[in-house]
């Protein structure tokens, strides 16, 4: 039984550390890839005058607990959560945040509605089948944890749906909240903090490679062009280390070249090697190896997939 969301393939294990300061009033709680289980995305914490604003809440209890520990140490409440998109490694901690801070308001697009009826429903069934077939108790428990997140239902959903780009004050801090349609998912949000000039991009930027499981590759390229027009000082990806503008442009160039290669008749290996060459300065040796494993899957199953599949992901 092949479980969807192939992000565990070929990933080198990484260990999460304490929160790190990205800019005054902005801290990063890094996600982690641990061999044999699904990842956690990055979480970004902004300190407002009235409390904390958290971008993405992770998947596993350990990751979300680090967010809660941060808030406790700061002795200020979490007032708002912004979910970049509905992937479980970015919304899985929502129920735990709600339990600790009942007054929190969660902001996200409405894309989770269709995901719950489609992708996540299919994933749920595949997890059930994998559990029935597996004899590995540790792996089965991980899959049960995944099912439990999906079964959280409405606790994962936004209280306030972002249906267009807008400026909002959250916890006393001003943000530009941008809605991107049919890029990584049907509705992706990225956040620009006008005070620090930190841009939290969610999975519109991911390392060691773009995670294409639910993406429209062409619209994702357009989204990167939109990010490039922002006057950010630091960009925080959904997975990976913070980037300077120069590093982001390296990523954008590598992504554009990857799509161009995949659309050509060049061998798959040429496209994969092109990515690791173009993005070399952003990757460790272990991450380059992981990127090759991921792209070996993504080029065949997404970048060179049946056009009907791509059209659906692109909203056609």
Tokens representing residue 71 in the block = 């808030």
pLDDT in tens, 285-310: 999 999 999 999 999 999 999 888 88
pLDDT in tens, 246-282: 999 999 999 999 999 999 999 999 999 999 999 999 9
Q: Which region among 11-15, 166-170, 213-217 has the lowest average model confidence (pLDDT)?
A: 11-15
Q: Please identify which residue in the block is written with the tokens 């998947």.
A: 59
CA distance 108 to 163: 9
pLDDT in tens, 117-150: 999 999 999 999 999 999 999 999 999 999 999 9
- Predicted confidence at residue 4, as pLDDT, reads 46
pLDDT band at 17 (very low <50, low <70, confident <90, very high): low
**Domains with residue ranges and CATH for the chain:** 6-207+215-244 (3.60.15.10)
CA distance 71 to 66: 9
Strands (E), the chain: 20-23, 26-29, 43-47, 52-55, 78-82, 105-108, 160-161, 166-170, 173-181, 187-193, 198-206, 234-239
Report the percent of the chain where pLDDT is more than 70: 95
Q: Which region among 24-28, 32-36, 60-64 has the lowest average model confidence (pLDDT)?
A: 32-36
- Predicted confidence at residue 80, as pLDDT, reads 98
pLDDT band at 16 (very low <50, low <70, confident <90, very high): low
pLDDT in tens, 67-107: 999 999 999 999 999 999 999 999 999 999 999 999 999 99
Q: Please identify which residue in the block is written with the tokens 């108790």.
A: 137
Helix H or strand E encompassing 28: strand 26-29
Residues in the chain, overall count:
316
């Amino acid at each position: 039984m092949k479980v969807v969301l192939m992000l565990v393939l070929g990933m080198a294990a990484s260990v999460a550390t304490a929160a790190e300061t990205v800019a005054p009033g902005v801290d990063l709680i890094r996600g982690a890839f641990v061999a044999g289980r699904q990842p956690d995305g990055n979480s970004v914490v902004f300190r407002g005058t009235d409390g904390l604003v958290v971008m993405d809440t992770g998947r596993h209890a350990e990751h979300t607990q680090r967010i809660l520990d941060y808030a406790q140490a700061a002795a200020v409440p979490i007032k708002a959560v912004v979910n970049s998109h509905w992937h479980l490694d970015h919304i899985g901690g929502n129920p735990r945040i709600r339990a600790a801070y009942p007054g929190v308001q969660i902001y996200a697009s409405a894309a989770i509605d269709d995901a719950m009826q489609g992708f996540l429903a299919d994933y749920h069934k595949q997890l059930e089948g994998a559990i029935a077939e597996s004899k590995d108790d540790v792996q089965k428990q991980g899959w049960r944890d995944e099912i439990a997140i999906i079964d959280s239902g409405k606790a994962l959903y936004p209280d306030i749906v972002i249906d267009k780009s807008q400026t909002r004050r959250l916890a006393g801090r001003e943000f530009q909240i941008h809605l991107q349609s049919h890029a990584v998912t049907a509705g992706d949000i990225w956040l620009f903090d006008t005070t620090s000039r930190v841009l939290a991009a969610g999975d519109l930027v991911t390392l060691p490679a773009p995670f294409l499981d639910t993406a429209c590759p062409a619209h994702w390229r357009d989204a990167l062009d939109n990010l490039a027009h922002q006057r950010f000082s630091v960009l925080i990806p959904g997975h990976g280390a913070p980037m300077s503008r120069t590093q982001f442009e390296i990523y954008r160039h590598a992504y554009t070249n990857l799509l161009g290669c995949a659309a050509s008749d060049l061998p798959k290996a040429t496209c994969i090697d092109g990515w690791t060459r173009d993005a070399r300065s952003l990757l460790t040796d272990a991450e380059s190896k992981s990127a090759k494993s991921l792209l070996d899957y993504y080029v065949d199953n997404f970048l060179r997939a049946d056009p009907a599949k791509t059209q659906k992901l692109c909203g056609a």
